[in-house]
Amino acid sequence: MNGTTSPRRRRMIVATFAVLALTTVACGGNGGGGGDGGGDGLAGLTGSVNVDGSSTVFPITQAVAEEFNGAAPDVKISVGVSGTGGGFKKFCAGETDISDASRPIKDSEKAECSKTGVEYVELTVAIDGLSVLVNPKNTWAACLTTDELKKIWEPAAQGKVTNWSQVRAGFPSRPLTLYGPGTDSGTFDYFTDEINGGEGVSRSDYTASEDDNVLVQGIAGDENAIGYFGFAYYEENTDKLKLAGVDPGSGCVEPSRETINSGSYKPLSRPIFIYVAKKALGKPEVKAFVDYYLENVNTLVPDVGYIEMPDAMLAEQKSAWDAFKA
């Protein structure tokens, strides 16, 4: 593959492989990588890099893989999309070299990796903000408080909070239909922790999917819908969806590149990660891929709708990686 893949084409790739759950990037293009560096000395590399995990991080890893293959066309890079939790299951079982994650690894997952002898390093690769979305024909829910979001999504709401009029006095009497990530998603864990007070604490009577494109289509086709997923997927679907701002008690804020990066979009902005297994350091192609990832990630993440890390944060990740592979 060459280094000119458009953001729209990358999103099409995301939609395709979120269904297939696995893609192999092994194209014999002659182009160099499209980033600022990391392309020298890669042409002779062979072997494979195996990645699985978060659908949120997938577009970033896929974009890096495409660019990397421009410089190292003989390296096969497989990128799966089984969700953060599903990715950690494979990672801790020793099945993958890298795990994409939209939340930090849980204590239970750490214990599983420890049991199987999988050591790793955590590297932040971008910043994301969870977006609360409604249908464009929704004229009443321009902003929701975190308390109202909890009223909608907490377990006690199951089978009881089923109408918009129950969310706030003055909202219309319309059925409330919900769309959100599945339970293997790091986005689900993050949202439920921040809004409902505990990871996995949520009503279950909603349309759930690990594929964010399914959620996009569901909300776009239902005037009464509300859902949540990463900001990047909203940016690719502004013609189909409408943002609802979030008020944590200090005023309403909508997610944007500026509010997410500044931290003013509270409490739903977050770092997202890759985890690299120590055993994978024995594969030169994995070391080269992660080198390339960190060298070029800030150039590539805006193309797929995420927020690049501040320079100081990126420098910390590079230092952590250098120490790990030393």
Domains 7-127+271-325 and 129-269 share a fold: yes
Return the beta strands (E) in 86-167 as ranges: 98-101, 120-134, 143-145
Is residue 260 classed exposed, middle or buried when 0-12, 13-18 and 19+ CB atoms within 10 A define those classes? buried
Class of domain 7-127+271-325: alpha beta
User: pLDDT of 79-125, one tens digit each?
Assistant: 999 999 999 999 999 999 999 999 999 999 999 999 999 999 999 99
Class of domain 129-269: alpha beta
Q: Is the pLDDT of residue 320 over 60?
A: yes
What pLDDT shows up at residue 39?
54
User: Whole-angstrom Cα distance, residue 140 to residue 60?
Assistant: 34
Question: In the chain, what are the domain boundaries?
Answer: 7-127+271-325, 129-269
Q: How far is CA 156 from CA 86, 196, 204, in A?
A: 27, 10, 10
| Residue 269: closest CA among 258, 277, 279, 283 | 258
Strands 269-277 and 98-101: antiparallel
24 falls in which pLDDT band (50, 70, 90)? very low
* pTM reported for the whole predicted model: 0.74
User: Whole-angstrom Cα distance, residue 153 to residue 132?
Assistant: 12
Q: How far is CA 264 from CA 123, 252, 270, in A?
A: 23, 10, 11
What pLDDT shows up at residue 21?
37
Q: Kindly report the average pLDDT of the chain as a whole number.
A: 88
Neighbours of 198 (CB within 10 A): 13
